[in-house]
Amino acid sequence: MNNEHESTYTLLVRSEETGRSIMETAIYALLGLSAILSLWQFALQPSQVPLDGPTPAPLAPHLSHHQAASVSNRRLEGKLAGSRL
């Protein structure tokens, strides 16, 4: 029995399957390639944050609910005053 004098690592290396080694290499290569492609795709996307450009004017002025009630009350008073004439 010559196996008693060989190290565990030597036994593992000798028993390693070559088909499994090739498959693992292919899977790791595909994993690395997919990571590179996803980073490349992310780098090519246009930026949605306007850091340099001018800021557009807001579509509507911001009003609190108190200001909005005040504006609607003035409009209502104007309509009532117009109907009284």
Single-letter residue type at 13:
V
Domain count, the chain: 1
Rounded distance between C-alpha atoms, residue 14 and residue 21, angstroms: 13
Mean pLDDT of the 20-37 span = 93
The pLDDT tens digits of the residues spanning 8-23 come to 888 777 777 777 788 8
Q: What is the pLDDT of residues 49-59, one digit of tens each?
A: 766 666 666 67
pLDDT at 29 over 80: yes
Residue 57, domain member (yes or no): no
Determine, yes or no, domain membership for 28: yes
Of 6 and 67, more confident: 6
Nearest to 60 by CA among 50, 73, 71: 71
* 27 in any annotated domain: yes
Domain that holds residue 41: 17-45
In a domain, 32, yes or no: yes
**Would residue 34 count as lying in a domain?**
yes
Which pTM was predicted?
0.40
